Amino acid sequence: MNVKHKGLSYVCDEGTLSRYTVFLEGRRVLDVLVDNAVALDADEFPGVTLDVGCSLHRIMIAPVGAMAGFAQETKGAAVRAPHFEPDASGAAGIHQHIVSNSVTSYVWPRLAHLLARVYGPPLAS
């Protein structure tokens, strides 16, 4: 993980989830998880057009370092796209990766709201 003053940093893959951490003023404030197992229907997101080979995946939020079971779903989606790079033998390989700009463009405008959802007091029932 790259420590940043402000921004999003990839942490690791945990099974079918990709974990990212949101930094604000040099502190980890929120974890963002992307569910790579289930592709969403692009029709659910008006105005979104995907390139060939790309798919949409649900964005979830959690307290920093929390287990995936504590993650809360959001209405956002991250784009998963093909990535071409050589493997260890030097042969070209195609790998799928999450486009971090798609995560950032969802999280940053809503950061205060997302932080309040994760760390705010529970709602009275």
Q: What is the mean pLDDT of residues 82-88?
A: 71
27-53 pLDDT, tens digit each: 889 999 999 888 898 888 887 888 888
- Inside any domain, residue 45: yes
Range of the domain at 59: 6-119
Query: What is the DSSP-derived secondary structure letter of residue 63?
Result: S
CA distances from 37 to 18, 30, 80 (A): 10, 22, 11
What is the spatial distance between Cα 111 and Cα 25, in angstroms, rounded to a whole number? Answer: 13
pLDDT digits (tens, 9 = 90+) for 47-74: 788 888 888 999 999 999 999 888 999 9
pLDDT of residue 123: 63
Which pLDDT does position 93 carry in this prediction?
A: 64
How does pLDDT run across 91-122, given as a tens digit for each residue?
A: 666 667 788 888 888 899 999 989 998 888 76
Residue 86 in this model has a pLDDT that exceeds 90: no
* Total domains in the fold of the chain: 1
pTM above 0.85, yes or no: no
pLDDT of 75 > 70? The answer is: yes
Asked whether residue 124 is domain-assigned, the answer is no
Nearest to 103, CA basis, from 74, 64, 77, 75: 77
Q: Is residue 22 part of a domain?
A: yes
pLDDT at 125: 59
Higher pLDDT, 96 or 7: 7
The reply to whether 1 falls in a domain is: no
